[in-house]
A and B are shown apart, each in its own frame.
Chain A
Amino acid sequence: MGALRSILVRDLTIAMRRKADVLTVLFFFIIVVSLFPLGIGPEADTLRTIAPGVMWVAALLASMLSLGRLFYNDYMDGTLEQMLIAPQPLGLLVMGKIIAHWLLSGVPLVLITPLLGLQYDLSADALLVLVAALLLGTPILSFLGAIGAALTLGLRGGGALVSLLVLPLYIPVLVFGAGAVDATVSGLGAEAHLALLGAGLLLSLVLAPWATAAALRIAFE
């Protein structure tokens, strides 16, 4: 557990000293979300309908964008190989990296979403569900994305490649995340969607660090 804490402290401290990385992803999210009304038109009805999908797709892309630096810096400066030969299970260290990644790339998106929701004329109920869904869904994106980031570590064209690997795996998160908001708006209630997202989160929490650790070992050997 000490190792998990060390990795969290380390990654968060580094991020605090290099805020640009965090802010770039956040602004990417904001800009993508703001582009859609320009492409589609400003009618409030249309915007309300597409809002959940737009926000989720933007969150998917933003999370994807930040995957590049999940392991790459550690790979380049040699800290990753030290993690591979640390006396802690690699899965545990990877879990720390992923949690830090989510805190730095997922949580800011969740926090800014209510503000962006106003642009799309979302009701308070819908916003609340959207935030809840993002809160449950964005960590899944980090967990699944970590597998892709580890598989493509150090490869040429890694950024585009990782999106080919990971985006299809993100589809259930998109479906249940955006569906949760739709369900609230149409009066069906979002409990089922949120429960499924929660189940997905548990599943990825258990399986993804292990798969990521295996992928990292493959990348090194």
Chain B
Amino acid sequence: MSINWFKYSSPASFYPLAGSMIPWFTAAAVLFGLVGLYVSFFVAPLADWQQGQSYKIMFIHVPAAWMSMFIYVVMAFWAIVGMIFKTRLSFMMGSALAPTGAIFAFLGLWTGALWGKPTWGTYWVWDARLTSQLILFFLYIGYIALASAIEDPRRADRATGLLAIVGVVNVPIIYFSVKWWSTLHQGSSINFNPAGADQRALSMTDSMFVAMLLMTFCFWCYTIAVALYRVRCEMVEREKNNDWVQDLVKSGDA
């Protein structure tokens, strides 16, 4: 069995394929989301008396933080594929993912702050994970800013691709340095209640794990659906002079 994958790397054949996939992923995202939220709110047990329901924001927070990290790696992957095979579609996939990655990074920070208030008594602590998430958010912003500053799409593709690759090489170094920094400054700068800190290390029950997994699938499907939607818009915009787009417009499908 051999599938000609490169066939789908051409915009003309990928456009309808993407179009037919979007409804499925949207539906899956809604389904996973509803079941995931149900499990997290009504099935997953309460934590101890101190945290109560508030820990349940974790079911949004943790998958969002995962997704934000994962999407950056995927962007770099598409950039590398694009650089090697010189396929425009790969670069378009990369840049279509960036806004979603930035949203998840922001969501991770926001829900982290909301979770921090009841547990730590403050919205923000300079803990290694939150700080890394903040820096990741900055990396996304830099990527998006560069993409929007370059008008020529060919240059934008390759410049942002290179930035994603440079970023992904640096992310582990940044993460390591922030971790190092936070262990060194533990005594002085993070002076929240240490008992509260321990509460974040919850022991996971099965239902909690299931809820987390369902929410992660939900975010996955949402990301794919939205990215495909953006890629389709970008394709039509870029290839407006090509025959296949003209045909689409005539048939009223675009």
Contacts and interface: CB of A to CB of B under 8 A. Distances in A.
Nearest to A192: B180
B246 interface: no
Interface string A145-170: 00100011001110001001101110
Contacts of B238: none
A175 B178 contact: yes
Contact of B155 (A168, A211, A221): A221
Nearest to B187: A186
B146 A171 contact: no
A151 B177 contact: no
Nearest to A214: B162
Main secondary structure of the interface of B (DSSP, over half): helix
B177 A176 contact: yes
Interface stretch (B94-102, B137-145, B209-217): B137-145
Contacts of A214: 162
Main secondary structure of the interface of A (DSSP, over half): helix
A51 to B, nearest CB: 15
Contacts of B155: 218-219, 221
B254 interface: no
B162 A151 contact: yes
B177 A156 contact: no
Interface residues of B, number: 28
Interface in A56-95: none
Interface of A: 147, 151-152, 155-157, 161, 164-165, 167-169, 171-172, 175-176, 179, 182-183, 200, 207, 211, 214-215, 218-219, 221
B57 interface: no
Interface stretch (B2-10, B17-25, B168-176): B168-176
Nearest to A157: B149
Given A175-B181, A218-B155, A218-B162, A168 B149 contact: no
30 contacts: A147-B162, A147-B166, A151-B146, A151-B163, A152-B149, A155-B149, A165-B145, A165-B146, A165-B163, A167-B138, A168-B135, A168-B139, A168-B142, A169-B170, A171-B135, A171-B174, A171-B177, A171-B178, A172-B174, A172-B177, A175-B177, A175-B181, A176-B177, A179-B184, A207-B169, A211-B165, A211-B166, A214-B162, A221-B154, A221-B155
A49 to B, nearest CB: 9
A218 B158 contact: yes
Interface string B165-203: 111011001101110110010000000000000000000
A161 B174 contact: no
Contacts of A151: 146, 159, 162-163
Nearest to A176: B177
A211 B162 contact: yes
Contact of B149 (A156, A167, A179, A182): A156
Nearest to B143: A165
A215 B173 contact: no
Contacts of B30: none
B248 interface: no
Given A151-B146, A168-B135, A215 B159 contact: yes
B150 interface: yes
Contact of B180 (A161, A169, A179, A215): A179
Contacts of A157: 149
A219 B170 CA distance: 22
Contacts of B154: 221
A200 B172 CA distance: 13
A85 B135 CA distance: 37
Contacts of B169: 207
Contacts of A165: 142, 145-146, 163
Contacts of B142: 164-165, 168
Contacts of A147: 162, 166
B25 to A, nearest CB: 31
Given A215-B162, A218-B155, A172 B146 contact: no
